[in-house]
Each structure stands twice: as C-alpha cells, then as structure tokens.
Amino acid sequence: MQQLAIHSEKTTVGFYAAAVAAGACTTVALLLAAGESLGAPLVVLALCVVAAAAERGSVRLTSDAEQSISLLPTLFAAVLFGPLAGAVVGAASNVADFRTPYLKWIVYTSTRTMAGALAGVVAFSSSGLVESPLGSIVVATVVAGTVLTILDLGFSVLTYKVKQYGQIRDALKVLAPVVLPSVPLWMPVVAFLAFTYREISPWTLALFFVPALAAHRSFVLYQEQRRLAAGLSAANAHLERANLSFAAALVATLDARDRYTAGHSAAVAIYSRDIARRLGLSDEEQRRAHLCGLVHDIGKIGLPVGLLEKEGPLTLEERRTMQEHSAIGERILAKVDDYSEIAQIVRHHHERVDGNGYPDRRAGDAIPLMSRIIAVADAYNAMTSDRPYREAMPSRVARLRLAQAVESQFDTTIVAAFEAILASSSDAYRSGTSADFRLLLQSDGEVGGYPSASPLALASAS
C-alpha cells in the first residue's frame, strides 16, 4: 500500500512537471513567433548571472521552502526589455541549481519562465498609461512586480501541494508573511534602477546589484550562523536532558533502597538551585547546583546491604562506614563522561568550613562553592525530614541550628541566603512537602524546573 502511494505521488509530480514545462516552452515559442527580442543581450546576460547567483544564495525558511532576491533582476529585465527577457532571466535563475531531483529543477525553471514572461507582457502593456518617463516606469514596475510576485507565490504553493508537503494553507502561512511584505520594499528600488538605467547610464546597475548580492550573501551567512547556534543549543539541551535522566535513574535506584530518605535528593536539588539563584550565580551554575543536588548521595548505593535499611541510630563504626558514601559517589561519577567536576563536588559536600569534615578535611574556600551550598541544603532537609530514630524538626529549629553552625560547619553567606529564601517561603516549601519537591520527569519534559528526556516518577519528599 505504501509503495502504491509513493508511485502515485511520483506520477502526479511527473505529470505536473511535464505540464509546466510544456507551458514554458509554449510561452517562449509564442514570444519568438510574435517577434519579441531580448533588447540588450549583454545586459540580459548579466542579469541572468545576477539572478543565478541570487538564487544560489537562497535563505531557507523551512525544510521545504526557500526565499531569494532572484525576482529583482527578473522584474528589471521584464520592465526594461519585455517578456522574452523576463522569461530568459527567470529561467536562468535556476541554471546553477541543476541537480537531482531533476523534476524539481524542471518545475521551478518552467514556472519562473512563465512568470517572467507574463510580467514582461503586463509591464509593456501598462507602461503607456502614464506619459512621463518616470511615471511610466513606476507604473510598469508596480503592475509587473505584483503579477510576478503573485505568480511566483502561486506556483510555489501549487508545487508544495502537488508534492504533498502539506495543505495549501500551510504553504501560505510560511511563504506569504515573508514574500508579500517584501514587495513594497523592492519595487521602488527596481523602478529607480530602471529609470536611471534608461535616463542616465547602464552602469548604474553595478551600483546596486553587486552590493545587493553582497548584502544578501551576508544575510545568508547570518542565517547559517543562527541555524548552527540553534543546533548547538539543541545539542546542549539534549545533553542536559540526558544528564538529568541519568541522575534521576541513579536516584531512583538509591530511593528504592532507602525509604526514609526517598525524595531527599530531589529536595536538596531544589534547595541548592534556589540558593545558587539567590547568590546571583549564572543559569548554568544554577542548573549545575540542581544536578549536583540530585546525585550528592549517590555513593550510598555502594554501602553494605542493611546499613541504609537499619532501623534506629547507627553505631560509631557504622557511621564511619556511612561517611564513605561521598568518596564512593565520586568514584561512581568520575567514570561518567563530563561528570568529573560534579564528582568533585559530590566528594566534598560533607566538608566543614572549619576543616573538621570528611573525607579530606578541607576548610573554607578550599571547599568547592557548590559543595558548600549542598551541605547547607542537605543538612536542613535532613533535619526537617522524619527519620526512624526521630521526628522531623520544625523549620524554625532547623534554621536556628544552621545559624549556630556558621563559620564552623557552614558558610555564613550561604546560610544567610538560604534563610532569606525560607523566610519568604510557604510552610510547604520549608517542610519539603510542596509539589515542587517531587523528582518527577513528566511527559511534558520537565524535571525539577529543567528539561528532561523521559518519563520517570520518583517518590515525593517526606
């Protein structure tokens, strides 16, 4: 069935190409039979070169639509030299584009030929409506330009439909907003050029078309740079989504083992992100704080079975074993591409500013900023969450504990920033029970306020 549909589409396009090619050949034959000439063959040849160069520098609007300034030399030829010149320059605009699929080349060459010829007919027919030289050229340009634009747009839309790219209205939505507003801009330019060519000197053409092609080429390069930037942005976004999906999968594994800290990583991630924002860090650093918060406890996956699941307080030996999770987390993440910095942050999130933390007893600014941020967010959420051996502390008590530990365990600036956030937040935010504290990779692609890749639900903070 699919092969029949493809065969039917090719047949339709083939008939369409044959029809427009026959129309173009008939048009040229009729013009030659009527005694039409090129007027100034060398100038028309130069216009053909300009039109071909302009068409090669087309600006891509969508995957199926392009726009160029090749209609300008076609209109100029039609106004000054008549329908045969318009047809020749219109056809020449596609000479340099001769490549597969050849049916496409035949269609566009033929439609441009017919459009240029008809523009020349109406230009010569309307030029006598006004007696003054300037007035006659302006009228001829406006009438011919309008006809040329409508025909070119019409043929493009018809071709779009025949090739089954979509509905006609879809093509009009893409092409009309770009093509139609440009008509009032370039018609006066062509009229002025035609007048100066006829009344002053043919060399005035070079004063416009060379800079016009250069400007158009610059615009094409600008569009290419924009597309490249968009591609890089999309690649970065995809990488970021992959990072978050990877982190979420790791945290899901951890939460499956430790039901008492289920959702803790999500809460620490959001608190860390908000502290980074409060400190005025960049969007990239805020995203990094969020990601590091998600995976800060991932090393607990490597702890002995039964340790995370134990009911009640840990023994001294068990606490020492538990403290190894930050170094284990670093070893896990260091093996992941582009996670080396995150691995270091995870390693040091239990360091203290007085140097009495673990695993390396770093102090002050020797501790990465992100690690100091996570330390505050981690401690606060741990204090305000239920544990098997104690109930959750009220937010005001946990905040007092943080304040009492500045310059010994925690960075003063970070604690102050977090206090400012908590003071103006809701009770649900302060207790970690807000809907925002669910690590939920939804179908619409959001996770913790940032893009994600696939659906994965983790338990909410408790």
Residue 217 lies in a domain: no
| Residue whose C-alpha is closest to residue 386's, from 225, 227, 264 | 264
Tokens representing 39 are: 């007027």
Range of the domain at 22: 2-202
Mean pLDDT, 10 residues at a time, the chain of 462 residues = 47 80 91 88 86 69 56 85 90 77 81 89 82 84 84 74 61 62 71 80 66 54 58 59 62 63 81 95 92 88 78 84 91 82 94 95 95 96 81 92 95 96 91 67 38 30 30
The reply to whether 269 and 145 lie within a common domain is no
Q: What is the dihedral of CA 396, 399, 404, 405, to 10 degrees?
A: 150
- CA–CA dist 307, 260 (Å, integer): 12
pLDDT in the model for residue 307: 80
Angle (CA) 75-139-177 rounded to 5° is 60
The reply to whether 253 and 177 lie within a common domain is no
| Residue whose C-alpha is closest to residue 295's, from 334, 342, 261 | 342
Give the domain-ending residue among 202, 221, 253: 202
pLDDT in the model for residue 423: 94
Contacts of 43 (CB under 8 A, 6+ apart): 81, 202, 205
The reply to whether 315 and 428 lie within a common domain is yes
For 447, the 3-state DSSP assignment is strand
The reply to whether 253 and 160 lie within a common domain is no
- CA–CA dist 22, 16 (Å, integer): 10
Tokens representing 275 are: 């502290």
pLDDT in the model for residue 405: 95
pLDDT in the model for residue 262: 58
**What CATH number corresponds to the domain at position 294?**
1.10.3210.10
What percent of the chain lies above the pLDDT cut of 90?
24
- CA–CA dist 358, 372 (Å, integer): 13
pLDDT in the model for residue 207: 61
Residue 309 lies in a domain: yes
Q: How many residues does the chain have?
A: 462
The reply to whether 172 and 287 lie within a common domain is no
pLDDT of 335-367, one tens digit each? 877 788 999 999 999 999 999 999 999 999 999
The reply to whether 152 and 254 lie within a common domain is no
The reply to whether 277 and 382 lie within a common domain is yes
Q: Are 418 and 223 in contact (CB under 8 A)?
A: no
Tokens representing 324 are: 């190894």
The reply to whether 188 and 243 lie within a common domain is no
The reply to whether 452 and 307 lie within a common domain is yes
Place of tokens 């910095």: 341
- CA–CA dist 384, 258 (Å, integer): 17
Residue 159 lies in a domain: yes
Q: Are 461 and 440 in contact (CB under 8 A)?
A: no
What is the total count of domains within the chain?
2
pLDDT in the model for residue 445: 38
H or E element, residue 160:
helix 133-162
Within its chain, how far is the Cα of 83 from the centroid? 44
What does pTM read for this prediction?
0.50
Residue 175 lies in a domain: yes
Residue 63 lies in a domain: yes
The number of helix segments (H) and strand segments (E) in the chain equals 17, 6
The reply to whether 262 and 182 lie within a common domain is no
pLDDT in the model for residue 455: 26
Q: Are 363 and 417 in contact (CB under 8 A)?
A: no
Report how far apart, in Å, the C-alpha atoms of 448 and of each of 17, 259, 271 are: 53, 20, 11
Residue 322 lies in a domain: yes
pLDDT in the model for residue 177: 64
DSSP 352: -
Give the domain-ending residue among 202, 229, 262: 202
Place of tokens 């003071």: 423
**What CATH number corresponds to the domain at position 100?**
1.10.1760.20
Residue 216 lies in a domain: no
The reply to whether 250 and 113 lie within a common domain is no
Residue 214 lies in a domain: no
Tokens representing 16 are: 């369409």
The reply to whether 33 and 174 lie within a common domain is yes
